[in-house]
Amino acid sequence: MKLRFYLSLLMDYFKNYAKTKLTYRADFWIEVLSDLSFQAANLIFILVVFQHTPTLGGWSEAEVIFVYGFFMVPFGIFGTFFNLWNFSDRYITKGEMDRVLTRPAHNWFQVTLENMDPPSLIGSLAGIAIMVSCWLKLGLPLEWWDIPVMIVLVLGAVLVYGGIYTALTAISFYSDAPTGILPLMFNIQNYGRYPVNIYNKVIRFLLTWLIPFAFVGVIPASYFLGDHGDGLSQLALLTPVVGIVFMTIGMAVWNHGVKRYRGAGS
Amino acid sequence: MASAYLDLIRIRFLMMLAYRVNYYSGIIIYAINIGAYYFLWGAIYGAQETLGGFTVSQMTTYVAVSWMARAFYFNNLDREIGNEIRDGSVAIQMIRPYNYLVVKMMQGFGEGIFRFLLFMIPGMALACLLFPVKLPSDPGIWAVYLVMLFFSFLINSQINILTGLAAFFVESSEGMMRLKRVAVDLFSGVIVPISFFPGWLEGAMRWLPFQAITYLPSSVFTGRTPAGEIGGVLGLQLLWFLILLLPIALVWRSARTRLFVQGG
């Protein structure tokens, strides 16, 4: 019942989004292009680097690109539903949270749906294409369970991202000027796209258990690539667990924070 | 007239100073980025001595100094100009008795001085503490590097101004600015030194202005550029600065006759 309600909300918000975007079609494509260019620059980096070395921390070119392709899928889904980079400004300072809180649907859903950004999904499609091409290049066997496992791992990775950024965005409820913590995180997540065994122990521990960006890229992807002797593939099936744990933490911080919201002065 | 421009530099510098807290996290962000690439390059080199003409230790220095140079030359002149064109305030700027583009350049320089003193220098100090960065011992290299860094700022700002002026011709330039930012980071050599590119791409890059922003000065700083070539490299930067004046002048001339204010 409740699920049906939220699905219908999702549809309506999407229709609304499509209507506004169709007004500025050229913008839409430029946005898609510039989103993809950012990913392309990172891929060019990988391609250029592998001109000079056969392996990166024991991983071949096709494997590293596969990891990157995997990363793009949850990242695109996350980007679609989590576009809250100006949350503090728009909802707290300008007080738009007032409007959201008077409605029956859960405030977090409303806020994420209001800001949804479906063009990010094109990045996910590109990621799938990259994975398929690497899969063929590496000659990996395809079992029937690989597809459902892939879906579960991708969803787990989306939850990892969602949890971390929900918690960080909720800081706006506690502090007036949360300067720079989001961009900080955005840069740290770059570490998660490469095999984490190239980093030193402290960073590896941090990326695996404290800010688990490794669970968005290299760890779940290594389920398909097999054991590299670094223990990453054994952790792969933990991805959904880590995702649920972090999403739960994120929502707890959010829900606790919303109670502190007092509305803007004017 | 000159004193008015100097005042613009001073005002922007003071304005940036008022918001300096915002930049403290920036220093950490840049250190994080340097760290990511430091480990990445370490793994790329593995047991190899030199790649693309860089030793591992030169690469560490290159990564650190390139990111910190970016901390200095980076500015949002493109966005500022684009916004002023869109909301129409550029029309007021045009009737004032100064050159709008010079004003923008001066404001960018005020920001640059702030970024140099409170972002690049402390950031570089932090990078030296965290990573095995090797600073040049020859004071001459330092002097040349500072001059080249100034040209990095000029050329990057010129590219930003050109991107900003595009708002005269397209209604939304947001995507274009993002494309430009990726292109500058990739092709200027912040992410990968130009010498790592495959031959054809490296050749193409030699004919574009981007390498003058990061690759050329950072190569001098790491001691990779032989002393005999330093003059030529500096000349190349100067040449690009002069060449880029031309499209800016052309775009500015044709743009003024077609100002179209959205909702103004």
pLDDT, tens only, B22-44:
788 888 888 988 998 999 999 89
* Region of poorest pLDDT, from A28-37, A154-163, A209-218, B79-88: A28-37
Site of tokens 């330092």: B142
B169 close contact with A: CB closer than 8 A: no
pLDDT of residue B85: 85
Query: What is the spatial distance between Cα A111 and Cα A251, in angstroms, rounded to a whole number?
Result: 13
As for the ipTM of the complex, it is 0.85
Q: In terms of CA atoms, which chain B residue is nearest residue A38?
A: B182
Give yes or no for a contact between B37 and B70, defined as CB atoms under 8 angstroms apart: no
Instruction: Please compute the mean of the pLDDT values over residues B235-243 and round it to a whole number.
Output: 96
Instruction: Please compute the mean of the pLDDT values over residues B109-125 and round it to a whole number.
Output: 94
User: B192 to chain A: which residues are within 8 Å by CB?
Assistant: 44-45, 48-49
pLDDT above 90: residue A128: yes
Instruction: Please compute the mean of the pLDDT values over residues A93-114 and round it to a whole number.
Output: 88
Return the residue in B23, B192, B195, B200 with the most chain A beta carbons within 10 A, the one to mutate for interface testing: B192
Q: What are phi and psi of A249, to 5 degrees?
A: -60, -45
Q: Report residue B62 as tokens.
A: 């290159």
- List the single residue in B32, B43, B185 with the smallest CB-CB distance to A41: B185
Residues of chain A above pLDDT 70, percent: 96
pLDDT tens digits, one per residue of A43-58: 999 999 999 888 888 8
Query: What is the spatial distance between Cα A211 and Cα A189, in angstroms, rounded to a whole number?
Result: 9
pLDDT of residue A195: 86
The domain in which residue A33 lies consists of 2-260
pLDDT above 80: residue A147: yes
Instruction: Please compute the mean of the pLDDT values over residues B145-151 and round it to a whole number.
Output: 96
pLDDT above 70: residue B263: no
DSSP at A196: G
A265 inside domain? no
Give contacts of A 47-86 with B, CB under 8 A. 48-49, 51-53, 55-57
Give the closest-approach CA distance of A72 to chain B in angstroms.
17
Give yes or no for a contact between A172 and A92, defined as CB atoms under 8 angstroms apart: yes
A8 inside domain? yes
Mean pLDDT, rounded, of chain B: 90
Query: What is the spatial distance between Cα A140 and Cα B246, in angstroms, rounded to a whole number?
Result: 54
pLDDT of residue A264: 66
pTM: 0.88
Query: What is the spatial distance between Cα A16 and Cα B113, in angstroms, rounded to a whole number?
Result: 45
The single-letter code of the amino acid at B123 is G
Instruction: Please compute the mean of the pLDDT values over residues A6-27 and round it to a whole number.
Output: 83
pLDDT above 70: residue B260: no
Query: What is the spatial distance between Cα B16 and Cα B23, in angstroms, rounded to a whole number?
Result: 9
A vs B, Cβ pairs < 8 A, gives 96
Question: Taking the domains of chain B in order of start, what are their residue ranges?
Answer: 2-256
Query: What is the spatial distance between Cα A162 and Cα A246, in angstroms, rounded to a whole number?
Result: 8
Check residues A240 and A262 and name the one with the higher pLDDT.
A240
Q: How many CB atoms lie within 10 A of CB A136?
A: 11
A88 inside domain? yes
* Region of poorest pLDDT, from A123-127, A183-187, B75-79, B150-154: A183-187
Instruction: Please compute the mean of the pLDDT values over residues A179-206 and round it to a whole number.
Output: 82
A27 inside domain? yes
**Helix A25-49 and helix A61-81: axis angle, to 10°?**
150
B36 close contact with A: CB closer than 8 A: yes
- The number of domains in chain A is 1
Distances (CA, A) of B233 to A144, B146, B223, B229: 58, 13, 13, 6
* Region of poorest pLDDT, from B9-13, B45-49, B125-129: B45-49
A98 inside domain? yes
A89 inside domain? yes
pLDDT above 80: residue A133: yes
pLDDT of residue A187: 78
Instruction: Test B40 with A24 for CB contact under 8 angstroms.
Output: no
B21 close contact with A: CB closer than 8 A: yes
pLDDT of residue A171: 86
A254 inside domain? yes
Return the residue in B22, B38, B39 with the most chain A beta carbons within 10 A, the one to mutate for interface testing: B39
User: B51 to chain A: which residues are within 8 Å by CB?
Assistant: 52-53
pLDDT of residue A18: 85
